[in-house]
Structure 1
Amino acid sequence: MQQAVSLESSVLVLNKFFMALHVISAKRAFTLLCKHIAEVVSVDEGKYNSYNFESWRDVSSYKVSLGLTDDDTTSWVKTVSFSIEVPKIIRLLTYDKFPQSSLKFNRRNIFARDENKCQYCSKRFPVSELSFDHVIPRAHDGKTTWENVVCACTECNKRKGGRTPEQAGMKLTRIPVKPKHSPVLRLKLRFEKYESWKQFLDEAYWSVPLK
């Protein structure tokens, strides 16, 4: 179980010029490292160190020999022959495109924006127990946009049905808006584990607290 959780850990991806692009799973990051498409970027006391897959495995083995695997800010993956630390940041060696200026409207970003909270009862739920809700129902010409879609738990979604919140006697906890910055990144930056990401992100991602 822990192995599966570690493989789903978040890894920040940088382009060739050390500019943040997006966040991927550790499983995907290891695939890129094994193919030598990317390298690990480790931030140690303000200094950047780069490692390919083999040298990162050696560093991980050294940490294991010193018993440095119980740190709450790190995740580990065990194989038959060795254990390897999940990198927090990787850099694509030849990808020279710049980050997208527009924020994608998708399930992941909506849930991150709303912090996995139902926007009607204010309770936080696992992603598997949340769904999209159109504030103004599509049957009433409601659009699938940042300003009209929110997280809703199964119970509240069922209660609201195909009605507006007013018709259902329900109230939104906050008005939905399009985020100015990636909600996934801002949500991750709440945790000490991803402190090193700040080196590569504009201060706007983390200087304003989430509400």
Structure 2
Amino acid sequence: MSLFLNQRVLVLNRLWQAVNICTARRALTLLFEGHAQAVLNAGDGSFQTYNFSEWRDFSQQDPHPESVCTVSFRIRVPRVILLVVFDRLPKKEVKFTRHNIFERDKNTCQYCGQAFDRKDLNLDHVLPRDRGGPTTWENIVCSCVPCNTKKANRTPQEAGMRLIRKPKRPKWRPFVQINLGLHYHDSWKHFLDLAYWNVELGDDLQ
């Protein structure tokens, strides 16, 4: 029983967007308290939702191996639940990392405008660090080796160079970073886009 209660359950907001992963124990609590409904694939591409009493009755009518027993009834562990009131996505700032700077600048030198492999790009302080330039979104850009060498320890203006765009903090994008691990339940597939969720992040830029 405890094994099933520790199973992972995908949590959707009321707009059917994945927002979290919780344990089956937590999912059943939310279901019992009326804060969530169980979601089940109806088999024809549609999804059926169940409140607690409906899910309990369904569990009796269609017994499933992944069920837990209470004193008076047996109930199936849901794999996906739908929150009945929450309609937001958790807001998270984009982490300031090497990877995300490359993503923001699209692996393109911000001085000459050419795209490169990441191994051929440096991160450049627009205002040199030893002249008070901070290590921030607004002062760090991707630079190819030739442009970085040409600019040296100068501002772009002093080096006779121009930025192709002004660096700034990326706007928050509506995705939720959840550690899915290597395996997840088949019933989650409809709600997950792996390319959207498995965002590779590098080490923090020091």
Aligned to 1:8: 6
Q: Which residue of 1 aligns with 2:113?
A: none
| Match in the other structure for 1:141 | none
- Structural mapping, 1:52-201, within 5 Å: 52-64=51-63, 69-70=64-65, 75-101=66-92, 182=177, 184-189=179-184, 194-201=185-192
Cα pair 2:9 2:78 within 8 Å, conserved: yes
- For 1:181 and 1:14, how far apart are their aligned partners in 2? 11
Work out the number of aligned pairs and report it. Answer: 119
Cα-to-partner distance string for 1:152-183 (whole Å, 9 max, x where unaligned): xxxxxxxxxxxxxxxxxxxxxxxxxxxx9846
Equivalent residue for 1:38?
Answer: 36
The secondary structure found in structure 1 opposite 2:89 is: coil
Deviation at 1:4, TM superposition (A): 0.6
Separation of aligned partners in 2, 1:77 and 1:29: 13
- CA RMSD, 1 decimal: 2.6
Structure index of larger Rg: 2
Letter in 2 for 1:35: E
| Corresponding letter in the other structure for 2:85 | T
> Secondary structure of 2:37's partner?
strand
For 2:67 and 2:37, locate their aligned partners in 1 and report how far apart those are by CA, in whole Å. Answer: 17
State the distance in 2 between where 1:12 and 1:93 align: 14
For the residue of structure 1 that corresponds to 2:61, the secondary structure is: helix
Structure 1 pair 103–84 and aligned structure 2 pair: CA distance change class (3 A): farther
Give the counterpart letter for 2:192 in structure 1. Answer: L
Measured at CA, do residues 181 and 56 of structure 1 come closer, stay the same or move farther in structure 2, by a change above 3 Å? closer
The alpha-carbon deviation at position 29 of structure 1 amounts to: 0.6
Equivalence for 1:123: none
Q: Match of 2:183, as an amino acid?
A: K
Q: Show structure 1 runs of 4+ deviating over 3 A.
A: 99-104, 180-183, 205-208
Unmatched runs of 5 consecutive residues or more in structure 1: 105-179
Question: CA offset at residue 101 of structure 1?
Answer: 4.5
The structural deviation recorded for 1:43 is: 1.3
Scaled by the length of structure 2, what TM-score is found?
Answer: 0.51
Residues 99/188 of structure 1: CA separation in 2 closer, same or farther (3 Å cut): farther
2:57 counterpart SS class? helix
Percent identity between the two aligned chains: 40
TM-score, scaled relative to structure 1: 0.50
Consecutive unaligned residues of structure 2, counting only runs of 5 or more, are 96-174, 200-206
